[in-house]
Amino acid sequence: MFETLDDCLKDCRDRLIRAPRDRKSPLHTPVIITGDVDARVMVLRAFDAAAWRLRLHTDSRAPKAGVIAADPRIAVLFYDKGAKIQIRARGSGEIVRTGSEVDAAWAASTRFARRCYLGEGPGALSDTPTSGLPAEFEGVEPDGAQLIPARENFALLRITLTALDWLFLAHTGHVRAQFTRVGEGAPWEGRWVSP
């Protein structure tokens, strides 16, 4: 099944292409690790297979935005339990607040999703359990005018991948391959390694 390095790299690419489109894909919600070694689960919104770039949505006020600005190194962990495939990826992240890609992502989001960018922002302290939403939007879908202030808090996290570690777990013997590239547009170089 995975006889060549090209097979393994193609498996990575195909899984990443499918993940943002299929909410049931195990790769739809990877673990994202920033330079401060903090980890969180995020939703993969898009994958540009030509650039090997992931796109996720974030609040521009989130602490991770400052961390990424200071240290763009990011690791991403994907795991497909059913297929027994783990993909560990590394790359460079950037927070993008403006531009046509951000505008298109905002426009494609539902009003309920946009509602998340109202309120005080991620990490704001509270004396009681809170969703962070203003009280008038708890369980309520805002209209377009009410969401105008939320747009300034919406941003994209783009991660350009530069390293992949692909692991297939099998009772007959695990198989592992690693791939690296020097930068965007550069070809991937692969090697087999012991699991």
> Which residue blocks in 71-192 are alpha helix, DSSP H?
100-108, 111-115
Q: How far is CA 165 from CA 18, 40, 93, 113, 161, in A?
A: 18, 19, 18, 32, 11
Domain-located, residue 32: yes
Domain range enclosing 44: 5-104+155-193
Domain-located, residue 177: yes
Give the whole-angstrom CA distance, residue 116 versus residue 43. Answer: 14
Domain-located, residue 133: no
Report how many domains make up the chain.
1
In this prediction, residue 48 carries a pLDDT of 97
Residues 34-73 have pLDDT tens digits of 999 999 999 999 999 999 999 999 999 999 999 999 999 9
Domain-located, residue 68: yes
Residues 176-189 have pLDDT tens digits of 999 999 978 899 99
Q: Can you give the CATH number for the domain in which 65 is found?
A: 2.30.110.10
The answer to whether residue 1 scores a pLDDT higher than 90 is no
Domain-located, residue 25: yes
